[in-house]
Amino acid sequence: MRVSIQIVTCFLLATAGLSNNQLFAQTANSAQTKKTAEAQTVSGLVKDAATGKPLTAISVSVEGFSAALTDDKGRFKIRIPSKTATIIFSGEGFQTKETALRGRTDITIALFEESFNSIYDQVKLPAGDKRGTQTGLAVNSINSNGNWGRTNETTDGFLQGRAAGLNGTMRSGTPNAGAYLNIRGLNSMYTNNQPLVVVDGAIYDIGDYGSSVIGNHYTNALAMIDPKDIENITIIKDGTSTYGTKGANGVINITTIHAKAQATKIDFAVFAGVNQAPKNLPVMESADYRVYVSDLLTSRGMTNAQIQAQPFMNDNTSNPEYYRYHNQTNWQDQVLSNSASTNYYLKVTGGDNIAKYALSLGYGSNNGITDNTKLTKYNVRFNGDLNISSRLTAATNFSFTYYDHLIKDQGLTPKTNPLYLAQTKAPFLNTNEVDNVGNVSPNRADTDIFGISNPVAVIENMFNSSKAYRFFGTIAFNYKLSSTLNLGTIVGITFDKAREQRFVPRKGVANDTLPNAIADSRLAGNVKRISNLYNETFLEYNKKFNTLHQFQLKTGLRYMNATNEQDLQIGYNSATDDFISVGTGINTLRKVGGDIGKSAWINYYLSANYTYNNKWFLSYNMAVDGSSRFGQDAQEGIKLGGNSFAVLPSVSAGWLVSSEKFLAGAKNLDLLKLRASFGKTGNDDLGNYTAKQAYISQNLLGIQGLVRGNVANPQLQWETGTRFNIGADLSLFNERLTFAFDYFSNKTNKMLSYENLPTASGYLYAISNTGAMKNTGFDFSVNARVVNQRQFKWDLGLILMKYKGTLTQLPQDIITNYGGASLLSTTSGVGPASFYGLKSNGVFSTDAEANAANLFKMLPNGTLVPYQAGDVRYVDANGDKVIDDRDRQNIGNPNPDYTGAVTSKISWKSFTLDFLFTFSSGNQVYNGVRKALESQSGMENQLLSVNNRWRAQGQITNMPKATWGDPMGNAAFSDRFIEDGSFFRMKAVTLNYHLPLKPTNLIKYISFYATGNNLLTFTKYLGYDPEFYSAESVFARGVDMGLEPISKSIVGGIRIGL
Amino acid sequence: MKSISIKKNFFVGAMVLVGLGLGISSCKKILDKQPETFLTTGQVYRDIFDADAAIIGVYGKFMGLAKQHLVLNELRADLMQVTDNADSYMREINQHTVTAGNPYADPTPYYSVINSCNDVLKNLKIMLADNKIKQAEYDQRYSDIGALRSWIYLQLGIHWGDQVRYVTSPLETLASAKDVANYPVVTFDQLLDSLVNFTNALPYTRPYPMGATINTGLVTNVDGSNTRRFFIDKFALLGDLNLWKGNYNKAANYYRSIMEPVLNGYDVDNANGLYTIGGDQYYQQSRQAFASVADNRDLCVGYIRFKEADQGSLIDNNTQGWRSMFARGQDNLWMQQWLWVLPFNSNFAPENPFVNMFSNSGGSYLLKPSREAMDKWNSQTQSNGFPFDARGNFTWRTLNGQPVIVKYLYNYLDASSLTPINPLQKPGQWFLNRVSNVHLHFAEAANRDGRRRLAAALLNQGISTTFDPTPGVTGRDVTNIMNTLSEPYPYNFDARNGETPRYRGDWHRNAGIRGCARVIPAAIVGDSTLSIESALLNEGALELAYEGHRWSDLVRISIRRNDPAILANAVFNKLSKDGNPAAAATRTKLLDRKNWYLPFK
């Protein structure tokens, strides 16, 4: 109560003052305008940039002052308020462009086609839509134009390589997995580093809450938006402080389709494609594998006779076991294969002067490259624009998406990941049961004598499904109180539910061991729900005085109430493999779990913008932010009504230098803008209840009691980000060459950290705001129209980004383990999350060499064992002659030096050829898959490189010997498995043939598409693919745990316009 | 005109915003989201059920200390040894060479329970002040958790010596958890003073009452166990603290309270009528009764009647005799012996750690009896002349050719074949305290308090025999013998057993620890105080091996006598007999008391 009164009073005073001033200015200005108006005009010529021909009916205007159209010779004459005014040109089929007169009285303007990627394009900012030139912020606008060619791409995947400053890393090759998006690198270790996504004015929750019962499955919220439904995506890299503690990582503002014209327009498209299975990893065939196994068993202490007695070593065909172990199976071929995709899409737009609508329907299926995986997707959207009265308008955006995804386990689930099993399964085994005389049964073989599951049984009989839907709807009302004053409100609702079902059969899959039972079949059900309510209500004031001074003021409040819930059931040992629902498991072994997280967020904001003569842009933004996640005694911010509120102001300034008179002579200079911004932002991703004292359940036998679970931190607060950005935009030769450069320096103070507590507290750590980090870098982009002819146009673009995160304050160094890798983060320049492992220096070739090195390994029981010939020669960093964790060093950095993209678009007559190349340079990757396939410690099949293993004294090799159980840690996490993850990839190439037909025809146009995805990749990486992102955590970067790899695909389609 | 409209419009707009602001903020709790998967301040400690839940929680957490407790108290001492399977951390504990990162030398788990205790203690006080619980309810619960905390601190003192942080604040906020003022460092002596003062002042020292008018939610049946013996015995703790401190009379006083159970709240449920023969139930409780020779329904070492000279007739099963106390259910006989036991149940966390530690089938077999321990049992002589102590047979066995500590495995192994009933079902119990330990400690206190004969009686052959000038003669008037009634409390025992006039003193069945174990009396030679004390120390090893008392007994007596060699030699004997080359060096090291203590991380 008191909170709102204070805030609103504050707001009232500020605005009332403004309103009075304006009153005075208003009258004075109109007189002045009259006086100057008659005196001045300017005339000029508008022509087509490609052909040089004059353009008719192009709208020419001075905002809020005058307007005109070009005549049939392309000439125009327009009144201007002053000789330094800015004139805006626009026309159907052409770009919007502005030019500052700089004292000129006769101007010639060349306009590019509408799809030209221009610096004058509209950007959609929280404070309202603007031309890209009219702001001091670092923003990019992407007009997706429907992204028709890349139909299987998710919205996040589509954004990869599209904007300087926005980095996307594909999570995996699984359909729908999408890309991990990040604006300008890391700002935090433990909170979210992904940008805020706003769709049609409301916050769109992209979190994947709770856990999945399916190995390494990610529920991607951005896959719920069909990119063909998107009109514009604006990437806001700084100046997001009005979003308060949700704006720390920038904002991606997505606007979906709306009808532009009243005439009914129908687009219908059909696509079909093929996904190509990746090239198999080169694993051993039976002959090599037998030799390997024999070496391995020797190291286990078995005699030659014992080894020869093994059923798989016996070469006597009359041996009853012979046929079972003398096959030649390429297991990777058994689980990976080419697959198909189809896609249908229908879009209808139209309406009348009261109501316009845009309706879309989509259906698609995309079968993954892993056998028996399939994604089926349905989506529908209905967007409307209503003119309810002359003052009241409304817009609705409703979308509903549903998908049904059949998937397999991925990553570190060695018993159930078919890909891993296919790599490691003994090649001499058969997919099916084989009898004593070699007859192959139609039944799939069970788990083998080595305890390894049958990958084909996993493919065929193990069942993982994720069925998810999301309803996301917003309704916005806008009431024009006067010509300058607007009152608006947006209500957004998200309902999201993902249901997972899992069944692991007993036949063909290795058992799990529970604390008190053996789990043969495993069953699970999981439901994850998100329900969010969002509202933003604002008052907006917009007024131009004297054609020079433009004020825009927006103030309002945002409120979000978020609930996410998970309910999970895990069962075991259903009666037979035909019982696959979780309820059929044994009662006593059933486990239930779940979580409920609720949070509320209130954000009061003020955004004040001032523009002087279209060339100076000043803005002040601030937010006062409260959240249920903050502790009561936050150190920063203010207290309102007993709650802690963050206060986050920012300022920005832009200067269109090119609009100044002194540059009137610079003929080839279209635009030069300098920008700077500085401000604060915050991150509220602290966990819903972290500040609170927790009493958790503790059992004593079957009675439940309560114990304290943490040390509460009432001082817990948002992470405070400081954002500094300077940038320049430069456009030359009538926009033929455009550059943008931004340097930024981000700081995060009060960074969330795990702080070690004294031993005698009884707790290991508490979560506190005791860290800090710095993140600096630059974004650079250049776009060039290399060839500009009527029939032949060629655009080339380059995006280059570099970020460097440095930890400046931590309560203590962080050593983390993730997916088999150790990661170190320190304030002394290592990290964030650098690989931290042993350094190796080849393999001891002789015992003498090993003895000379005099190195030891301590076994778990404390005995020191000397390294011998064939063992890896690790570097004894601390010089104590014992190789252990204390010898770990920084052995690689998963963060790239540079990332970026190259784009090329060639148009020739009705053909368009689009290329998108993405690259990453200087990042290291831990190849966890290769580690498993070169560890030489068990019966798992190995890579062909293992043939080069050490076998005899004096042999010089880099591959250590095969030893059962690897007691010497030859396959420990070390630089042996750290590889260069740099790559250059032809991400997409699209050929489009657009056949325009007569507008009077029923069919107005037909477009043909052919797209190739990921057709070429240049990398030294030895795994399937160097690009993946297995989890949202900072610590997951560059750790290859064996997800489904990115694959090549080809899609063809046709689009018909009615 | 226009100005008016702007003003009006502005006013309308502003009012809408104000209205909305009010709408949202009028509900004060808008930013107050309560968690639903755990509770937070304000949702706990509201009534007696919450208070009971807090106590259950503390004990649930306390069970997590079982493994570390046993490793520290036995492996550091002389009776337990590592096997080839043990990891380097256990080896370090075994030979007193702990290095950084050794999880057994990390006091954090102990402090984790202490923190929970502190939280409960603080909040119980608040509940009492707010009238949320009655005074009696408060007294029982506060004393229980206070005593448990003192017991844990005593353990910390025994193992970490002069580096213990005596934390009594619940450390509710991060600021208080980082405040060094909340972590006063105390020496072991200071710690003992604090513990004695705090624990002596606890308002309630009996066990939780049963069936009284006030809430007894804590004493109940759960998953096959009764919770009566789940909670710490405060008399025993008070006795121990005072024994450590050298307040012998006071210590004896507290121990005696246990030895007079009916007077002191040890309601042994007699409803089953199992042991009502001759009304002796009453006499047997907590009194270390002699064997029930006819049917072996007892907890003593016994043989089949009239076959005492046949080694094969040794009573060796899960329902009769000495062994059965580790195997039997919570019947009356069990209740007479056990003071503090927490059971492990396969259906609930935590998992029983002892199977993994000790068993060589279904477990990892990490620890085994030392040669020294075996020699101790083998050097005893039974009253029937057999040259061993049968308690050793029941404590460890050779299974599959390996010596295995079986005391903890009787619920896990089949009673006769001694193979696992089901390797994935690992029931067991954490044995924390029993009456034999109380008798030995009482005797230790009495011995130091000048009652050497009484001490020797409780150790060797019982009061009746010891205070009888002509034992074995029948038909006498026993009015003036077989008792110590001339002594003041707590040393006044009535063990008279005669017919004319008829006497059945409360203690007439007391047979002494060794009497019950059927071994011949320990010889008392030289300075009887020291001799008796040494015999008591040795008896603790024989009777209570692997029950978590050995290291503290060695430390206490070495300190009392200011003779580090007692401890150092014990460890030396173990290590040297097991062929550990570091034995001599370890002995030298342990001759300095500072080296008895683990480094406080």
**B87, B119, B177 ranked by CB distance to A766: nearest:** B177
Average pLDDT, chain B: 88
B64 touches B350 (CB < 8 A): yes
Separation of alpha carbons B217 and B210, rounded Å: 9
| Length reported for chain A | 1058
Interface of A with B in 530-559 (CB under 8 A): 537-539, 555-557, 559
Whether the per-residue pLDDT at B465 is higher than 80: the answer is: yes
Q: Is the link from the previous residue into A414 a cis peptide, with omega within 30 of 0? A: no
Whether the per-residue pLDDT at A741 is higher than 80: the answer is: yes
Across chain A, which distance is largest between two alpha carbons, in Å?
112
State whether residue B585 sits within 8 Å of chain A by CB: no
- B87, A861: Cβ pair inside 8 Å? yes
Interface of B with A in 81-100 (CB under 8 A): 84-88, 91-92
Amino acid at A871: D
What is the percent of chain B with per-residue pLDDT over 70, rounded to a whole number?
89
Whether the per-residue pLDDT at B278 is higher than 60: the answer is: no
Burial of B405 (C-beta count, 10 Å sphere; 0-12/13-18/19+): buried
Cβ partners under 8 Å of residue A619, min gap 6: A127, A135, A136, A137, A239, A607, A608, A609, A610, A651, A652, A653
- A758, B183: Cβ pair inside 8 Å? yes
Sort out which chain B residues have CB atoms less than 8 A from A766's CB and list them. 174, 177
More confident residue, A55 or A362: A362
- A861, B91: Cβ pair inside 8 Å? yes
Residues forming beta bridges with residue A680, ordered by sequence position: A722
Which tokens is A705 given?
A: 């009691």
Mean pLDDT for A561-578 is 92
Which tokens is A614 given?
A: 């279209």
Sort out which chain A residues have CB atoms less than 8 A from B349's CB and list them. 699
Cβ partners under 8 Å of residue B46, min gap 6: B132
State whether residue B353 sits within 8 Å of chain A by CB: no
Separation of alpha carbons B415 and A988, rounded Å: 72
Separation of alpha carbons B551 and B79, rounded Å: 9
> Side-chain half-sphere of B369: how many Cα atoms within 13 Å?
28
Which tokens is A118 given?
A: 């221009």
**A557, A701, A706 ranked by CB distance to B57: nearest:** A706
The confidence score (pLDDT) of residue B58 equals 96
Whether the per-residue pLDDT at B450 is higher than 90: the answer is: yes
Amino acid at A222: L
pLDDT tens for each residue of A994-1030: 888 887 778 888 999 999 999 999 999 999 999 999 8
Mean pLDDT for A652-657 is 90
Give the residue on B whose Cα is nearest the Cα of A767.
B174
Interface of B with A in 190-249 (CB under 8 A): 220, 222-223, 225, 230
* CA distance to A287, A600, B445, B449, per residue, from B533 (Å): 73, 68, 9, 12
State whether residue A26 sits within 8 Å of chain B by CB: yes
* CA distance to A826, A931, A949, A1021, per residue, from A836 (Å): 11, 15, 25, 20
Query: A1021-1030, B193-202, B276-285 — which one is most confidently predicted on average?
Result: B193-202
Residue A804 has a CB neighbour count (10 Å cut-off) of 12
In the three-class reduction of DSSP (H, G, I as helix; E, B as strand; rest coil), residue B227 is classed as helix
Interface of B with A in 98-127 (CB under 8 A): 106-116, 119
Query: Alpha helix (H) ranges present in A630-682?
Result: none
Cβ partners under 8 Å of residue A278, min gap 6: A173, A336, A369, A1024, A1025, A1045, A1047, A1048
Whether the per-residue pLDDT at B594 is higher than 90: the answer is: yes
pLDDT band for position A695 (50/70/90)? very high
Give the residue on A whose Cα is nearest the Cα of B230.
A700
Give the residue on B whose Cα is nearest the Cα of A2.
B25
A597 closest CA partner among B32, B41, B37, B27? B37
- B40, A689: Cβ pair inside 8 Å? yes
Q: Which residue has the tokens 């995160």?
A: A805
Strand-pair category, A139-143 with A166-170: unpaired
* CA distance to A292, A426, A451, A830, A968, per residue, from A299 (Å): 11, 19, 20, 39, 12
pLDDT band for position B27 (50/70/90)? very low
- Backbone torsion region of residue A165, taken as left when φ is above 0, otherwise alpha when ψ lies between -120 and 50, otherwise beta: left
* Range scoring the smallest mean pLDDT among A6-10, A272-276, A430-434, B342-346: A6-10
State whether residue A1 sits within 8 Å of chain B by CB: yes
State whether residue B66 sits within 8 Å of chain A by CB: no
Q: Which residue has the tokens 């509120």?
A: A645
pLDDT tens for each residue of A317-364: 888 888 989 999 999 999 999 999 999 999 999 999 889 999 999 999
Average pLDDT, chain A: 88
The DSSP secondary-structure symbol of B74 reads I
In the three-class reduction of DSSP (H, G, I as helix; E, B as strand; rest coil), residue B559 is classed as helix
Q: What secondary structure, in 3-state letters, does B187-221 show?
A: CHHHHHHHHHHHHHCCCCCCCCCCCCCCCCCCCCE
The confidence score (pLDDT) of residue A285 equals 93
Whether the per-residue pLDDT at B344 is higher than 70: the answer is: yes
The confidence score (pLDDT) of residue A30 equals 45
Whether the per-residue pLDDT at B272 is higher than 80: the answer is: no
State whether residue A882 sits within 8 Å of chain B by CB: no
Separation of alpha carbons A277 and A332, rounded Å: 10
Separation of alpha carbons A532 and A528, rounded Å: 13
B303 touches B382 (CB < 8 A): no
A614 closest CA partner among A63, A44, A34, A21? A63
Interface test with A, best of B1, B3, B9, B12 (most A CBs within 10 A): B9
A936 touches A946 (CB < 8 A): yes
Whether the per-residue pLDDT at A21 is higher than 60: the answer is: no
pLDDT band for position A769 (50/70/90)? very high
Q: Which residue has the tokens 């008796």?
A: B532
Separation of alpha carbons B455 and B463, rounded Å: 9
Give the residue on A whose Cα is nearest the Cα of B4.
A23
Sort out which chain A residues have CB atoms less than 8 A from B88's CB and list them. 858, 860-862
State whether residue B541 sits within 8 Å of chain A by CB: no
What is the percent of chain A with per-residue pLDDT over 70, rounded to a whole number?
96
Mean pLDDT for A917-921 is 94
More confident residue, B18 or B430: B430
pLDDT tens for each residue of A446-480: 999 999 999 999 999 999 999 999 999 999 999 99
Helices and strands of chain B, counted as H and E runs: 23, 12
pLDDT tens for each residue of B166-189: 999 999 999 999 999 999 999 999
Burial of B417 (C-beta count, 10 Å sphere; 0-12/13-18/19+): exposed
Separation of alpha carbons A1043 and A1049, rounded Å: 18
Separation of alpha carbons B229 and B432, rounded Å: 10
Sort out which chain B residues have CB atoms less than 8 A from A862's CB and list them. 87-88, 91-92
B391 touches B542 (CB < 8 A): yes
- B53, A706: Cβ pair inside 8 Å? yes
The confidence score (pLDDT) of residue B1 equals 44
Amino acid at A507: K
| Length reported for chain B | 601
- B222, A702: Cβ pair inside 8 Å? yes
- B87, A862: Cβ pair inside 8 Å? yes
Distance between B118 CA and the closest CA of chain A, angstroms: 10
Interface of A with B in 742-761 (CB under 8 A): 755, 757-761
Mean pLDDT for A646-670 is 86
Interface of A with B in 303-362 (CB under 8 A): none
A365 touches A374 (CB < 8 A): yes
Residue B585 has a CB neighbour count (10 Å cut-off) of 15
Strand-pair category, B367-369 with B338-344: unpaired
Strand-pair category, A122-125 with A196-199: unpaired
> Side-chain half-sphere of A161: how many Cα atoms within 13 Å?
20
In the three-class reduction of DSSP (H, G, I as helix; E, B as strand; rest coil), residue A954 is classed as coil
- pTM, full prediction: 0.90
Mean pLDDT for A543-569 is 89
Interface test with B, best of A703, A710, A859 (most B CBs within 10 A): A703
* CA distance to A201, A552, A564, A599, A1015, per residue, from B29 (Å): 26, 34, 19, 12, 55
State whether residue A11 sits within 8 Å of chain B by CB: yes
The DSSP secondary-structure symbol of A830 reads -
In the three-class reduction of DSSP (H, G, I as helix; E, B as strand; rest coil), residue A61 is classed as strand
State whether residue A587 sits within 8 Å of chain B by CB: no
The confidence score (pLDDT) of residue A15 equals 39
pLDDT band for position B11 (50/70/90)? low
Separation of alpha carbons A407 and A404, rounded Å: 10
Residue A954 has a CB neighbour count (10 Å cut-off) of 11
A776 closest CA partner among A807, A742, A745? A745
The confidence score (pLDDT) of residue A34 equals 46
What is the percent of chain B with per-residue pLDDT over 90, rounded to a whole number?
67
Mean pLDDT for A495-521 is 90
- A712, B6: Cβ pair inside 8 Å? no
A591 closest CA partner among A528, A517, A511? A517
Burial of A794 (C-beta count, 10 Å sphere; 0-12/13-18/19+): middle
The confidence score (pLDDT) of residue A735 equals 84
Whether the per-residue pLDDT at A25 is higher than 50: the answer is: no
Please state the ipTM of this predicted complex. 0.90
Whether the per-residue pLDDT at B264 is higher than 80: the answer is: no
**B40, B60, B178 ranked by CB distance to A694: nearest:** B40
- A700, B230: Cβ pair inside 8 Å? yes
The DSSP secondary-structure symbol of A344 reads E
Which tokens is A737 given?
A: 């060459």
Q: Give DSSP secondary structure letters for A423-487.
A: HHS-TTS-SEEE-TTSPEEEEEP-S-TTS---HHHHHHH-EEEEEEEEEEEEEEEEEESSSSEEE
A376 closest CA partner among A469, A462, A463, A460? A469
Give the residue on B whose Cα is nearest the Cα of A768.
B174
State whether residue A4 sits within 8 Å of chain B by CB: yes
Instruction: Say how many Å lie between the first and final Cα of chain A, rounded.
Output: 55
Strand-pair category, A59-62 with A66-69: antiparallel
- A700, B50: Cβ pair inside 8 Å? no
The confidence score (pLDDT) of residue A1000 equals 79
